[in-house]
C-alpha cells in the first residue's frame, strides 16, 4: 500500500515530537545555522495520516525525526549537515 506524503510548502519539513531527544538535537543544530524548515508535530492534527506516512517510509516503524524534502525525498534521523546540504540544493544556492 502506497501512502501519500503529507503536503508541505517548505523545502524541509521535519516531523517531530516534543519528547524526542533526537528531534530536539536536530532542531537545535539547524537553528544554530539558521537553516529554514517547517515543523509538524506527529501528535498534533492529522497525526494518523502523518504517522502512517512515517511508518511507510521506515519499514513499518514510527521513527522520528523523519524529514521530508520538497523534491519528495526523505531521511530518517539525519545529521543537521545533511539537512543543511539538501536545503541549500533545493533552494538553488
10-residue mean pLDDT profile of the chain (93 residues): values are 82 96 98 96 89 95 96 96 96 78
Task: State the pTM of this model.
Answer: 0.93
Task: Give me the pLDDT at residue 55, please.
Answer: 96
Task: Give me the pLDDT at residue 46, please.
Answer: 80
- Taking each helix axis as running N to C, give the angle between helix 21-32 and helix 80-91, from 0 to 180 degrees, rounded to the nearest 10: 50
Give dist(CA 63, CA 86) in Å, integer: 20
Task: Give me the pLDDT at residue 92, please.
Answer: 86
- Report in angstroms the alpha-carbon separations of 65 from 1, 12, 15, 53, 92: 22, 12, 6, 13, 24
Q: How many CA atoms lie within 13 A of 91 on its CB side?
A: 13
Amino acid at each position: 500500500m502506497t501512502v501519500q506524503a503529507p503536503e508541505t510548502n517548505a523545502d524541509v519539513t521535519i516531523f517531530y515530537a516534543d519528547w524526542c531527544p533526537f528531534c530536539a538535537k536536530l532542531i537545535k543544530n539547524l537553528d544554530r545555522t539558521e537553516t529554514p524548515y517547517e515543523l509538524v508535530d506527529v501528535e498534533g492534527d492529522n497525526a494518523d495520516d502523518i504517522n502512517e506516512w512515517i511508518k511507510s517510509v521506515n519499514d513499518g516503524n514510527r521513527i522520528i525525526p523523519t524529514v521530508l524534502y520538497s523534491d519528495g525525498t526523505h531521511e530518517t534521523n539525519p545529521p543537521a549537515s545533511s539537512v543543511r546540504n539538501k536545503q541549500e540544493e533545493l533552494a538553488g544556492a
